[in-house]
Chains A and B, each alone.
Chain A
Amino acid sequence: MSGTDVPLQPKKKGLTRRQKRSLSRGVQYVVFVAAVIAFAVAADWDRLKNQFAQGSIAREMFPDVITLALKNTVLYTVSGFVVGLVLGMVIALMRLSSVGPYRWLAGIYIEIFRGLPALLIFIFIGVAVPLAFPGTEIPGGTYGKVALALGLVAAAYMAETIRAGIQAVPKGQMEAARSLGFSPARAMISIIVPQAFRIILPPLTNELVLLFKDSSLVLFLGVTLEERELSKFGRDLASQTANSTPILVAGLCYLLITIPLGFVVRRMEAKAQEAVK
């Protein structure tokens, strides 16, 4: 009975829904283009160019911005990611364990490190650890400290991502593996985790991109000239030259990594989809 009083044919007067939709979209385009033009006209391009795009200053940044700053950024990020991935994997498996204390420990870890700003973790690693264990050095100097600090933060996020990925693998996969004689650990490693990683590839990349940006926090550990990464490098040069061009160049360098990364991941995702579909 319901719905019979709704006329199926459009009424003659007024616009149909389809016409309304295209009209609404047309208005959106016009507003968007008008806004862009308004900003472009209103902005003082000469002053912006002076402050942010001084060719000579930008040229002087090379090759150090790549060979030193970008290299360090990548190094900090990748080492933090690796530490985070390994630790996150362990915590995820603890979280899924049938042993109560493992689950609780993992839960507490995740709540603490996900809840604290990365900045505080860096300060903690830089100040509290040397105080608590006088005389001990975190191996690898600044690099080790960064890997540890970034890793500790990343592990909390990645553990939750990995756990979700493992739980997204159908239950029948574990049953099939167990019935073939796999032990629980072996089934997890050989069958479940590889499938989980295909599922969580996009969120893991997201984590990598976030780490790229968090690697700028290294300046709170106090770094030597040789250990500077993109943000610190850009800021130092910006204050030396009293010009913001180095900031812009440093920013472009971040994009130089993150944009191709996104592209690669979309390719990998498509490939994984193809295999699973």
Chain B
Amino acid sequence: MSTTAEIQVRDLHKSFGDNEVLRGIDLEIRQGEVVCVIGPSGSGKSTLLRCVNLLEEPTKGQVFVGGAELTDPDVDIDAVRRRIGMVFQQFNLFPHLTVTENLTLPQRRVLRRGKEAAAKVAAENLARVGLSEKAGAYPASLSGGQQQRVAIARALAMGPQVMLFDEPTSALDPELVGDVLAVMRMLANEGMTMMVVTHEMTFAREVADRVVFMDGGVIVEDGTPDQVIGNPRHERTRHFLSRLLDPAMADVEEGVQDQVGKSD
């Protein structure tokens, strides 16, 4: 693993009106590292992820990706975003385009790739996520798990250096989660730099190099999965994990109980 910082976040603050969601975040993710961000809902983990590609404008602080400062007002944000793939909870495929067109249109319009080249890259990436046979289908005819895999392939087709995942399995039926996690695991094994906001503790434990626990807009704990999930030092982390582990209390976030049950 290289020691170059691919993502660097310095003293990041973000407020929505009077609501201060991020209260000073410092975080570094090295090239090839897989970092899972966990924490209760409302802890600011999705906002942090969205600040990393500037879908949310930070109130204060700096964000660097691949050496470029995104928070510089004069940065070519579109150019920087081409290095960053993003996967959303709600997939956000383009419903008026077929699966293949979802992959080729961004390549052609943004990267100015030729028709043939774009089609070739699209086919390769559809094969990677195991959906070659759905090339001509419209997103609406796919299951949630398939749509999310197409969304991952669409991001990969742009050749990103970093992949951001915003609760990629939270909108899926439990039996469809596995396929998406398998694709993410494959990416991790290939050495992709990944920042994953997730509730999937098994995935965090087995795939992540580091786990970051957030609560109340700050990073409470940051370490290896064994440290943060296996042996948390902070009371807040312990409380959060016990809520996930205790089915009687973990009735707030759907799908989580299920996953934790499987992991033990």
Q: Is the CB of B105 within 8 A of A175?
A: no
Whether A172 touches B92, Cβ cut-off 8 Å, given contacts A179-B84, A180-B154, is yes
Assess whether B109 is interfacial by the CB under 8 Å rule: yes
- Contact between A194 and B96 (Cβ–Cβ < 8 Å)? yes
Partner of B53, one of A179, A191, A195: A179
| Contact of A277 with B105 in the complex, beta carbons under 8 Å | no
Most buried by B among A170, A173, A176, A183: A176
A179–B78 Cα distance when bound, in Å, is 8
B90 at the A/B interface (Cβ < 8 Å)?
yes
| Per-position binary interface string of chain B over residues 37-78, scored 1 when its CB falls under 8 Å from any chain A CB and 0 otherwise | 000000000000000010100000000000000000000001
Task: Provide the residues of chain A in CB contact with B95, threshold 8 Å.
Answer: 195, 275-276
User: When A172-B88, A175-B55 are in contact, do A181 and B81 touch as well, CB less than 8 Å?
Assistant: yes
Interface string of B206-237 (1 = CB under 8 A from A): 00000000000000000000000000000000
Q: State whether A173 touches B94 (Cβ < 8 A).
A: yes
B78 to chain A, nearest CB (A): 5
Q: Choose from A180, A191, A194, A276 the contact partner of B158 (Cβ within 8 Å).
A: A180
Instruction: With both chains docked as a complex, state the minimum distance between the C-beta of A128 and any C-beta of chain B, in angstroms.
Output: 43
Question: Which residues of A lie under 8 Å from residue B24 when comparing CB positions?
Answer: none
Out of B78, B94, B155, name the residue touching A183 (CB < 8 Å): B78
Which of B55, B84, B109 is close to A190, meaning CB atoms less than 8 Å apart?
B109
Bitwise interface map of A from 162 to 198 toward B, beta carbon under 8 Å scored 1, else 0: 0000000010110111111111001000110011001
Q: Are A175 and B82 in contact (CB under 8 A)?
A: no
**Contact among A179, A182, A186, A276 with B55 in the assembled complex (CB-CB below 8 Å):** A179
> Given contacts A178-B55, A181-B158, is CB(A275)–CB(B81) below 8 Å?
no
Say whether chain A's binding surface is mostly helix, strand, loop, or mixed.
Answer: helix
For B, the interface residue count at a CB cutoff of 8 angstroms equals 27
Chain B positions within 8 Å of A194 at CB level: 96
In the complex formed, the residue of A with least CB distance to B53 is A179
Is the CB of B106 closer than 8 A to any CB of chain A?
yes
Bound-state CA distance A75–B36 (Å) is 62
The yes or no answer to B140 lying at the interface (CB within 8 A) is: yes
CB of A275 within 8 A of CB of B106, answer no
Chain A: interface residue count, which band?
20 to 34
Q: Closest approach, in angstroms, between the C-beta of B70 and any C-beta of chain A?
A: 12
Contact A275–B88 (Cβ < 8 Å) = no
Distance A277 CA – B142 CA, assembled complex (angstroms):
10
Give chain A residues whose Cβ lies under 8 Å from the Cβ of B81. Answer: 178-181
Known: A173-B92, A190-B109, A276-B140. A181 touches B155 (CB 8 A): no
Which residues does chain B contribute within 8 Å of A176, judged by CB atoms?
A: 86, 88, 92-94, 151
B110 on the A face (CB < 8 A): yes
The 8 Å CB contact of A275, one of B79, B82, B111, B140, is B140
Q: Is the CB of B140 within 8 A of A191?
A: no
| B53→A172 contact, CB < 8 A | no
What's the minimum C-beta distance from B123 to chain A, rounded to whole angstroms? Answer: 18
Given contacts A179-B53, A179-B81, A181-B106, contact A172 B90 (CB under 8 A): yes
- What 0/1 readout, one digit per residue, does chain A (218-245) give for beta carbons within 8 Å of chain B? 0000000000000000000000000000
Specify which chain A residues have a CB less than 8 angstroms from the CB of B92 in the assembled complex: 170, 172-173, 175-176
**B110–A182 CB distance below 8 A:** yes
In angstroms, how far is the closest chain B Cβ from the Cβ of A277? Answer: 5
Contacts of A177 in B (CB 8 A): 94, 106
Q: Which of B140-199 contact A (CB under 8 A)?
A: 140, 151, 154-155, 158
Does B203 sit within 8 A of A, measured CB to CB?
no
Q: How far is the CA of A198 from the CA of B97 in the complex (A)?
A: 12
Please give me the residue from chain A that is nearest to B157 by CB atom. A180
Provide the bound-state CA to CA distance between A186 and B78, in Å: 11
In the bound complex, CA of A194 to CA of B97 (Å): 10
Taking A180-B155, A183-B78, A275-B138 as known contacts, 4 extra A-B pairs with beta carbons closer than 8 A to each other, sorted by chain A number, are: A170-B92, A176-B86, A178-B78, A180-B154
Q: 6 closest A-B pairs (Cβ-Cβ)?
A: A176-B92, A179-B86, A181-B82, A172-B92, A181-B110, A180-B106
* Chain A interface (Cβ < 8 Å from any Cβ of B): 170, 172-173, 175-183, 186, 190-191, 194-195, 198, 275-277
B interface residue numbers (CB < 8 A to A):
53, 55, 78-79, 81-82, 84-86, 88, 90, 92-96, 105-106, 109-111, 138, 140, 151, 154-155, 158
9 contacts between A and B (CB under 8 A): A172-B88, A178-B78, A180-B82, A181-B158, A182-B106, A183-B78, A190-B105, A194-B96, A275-B96
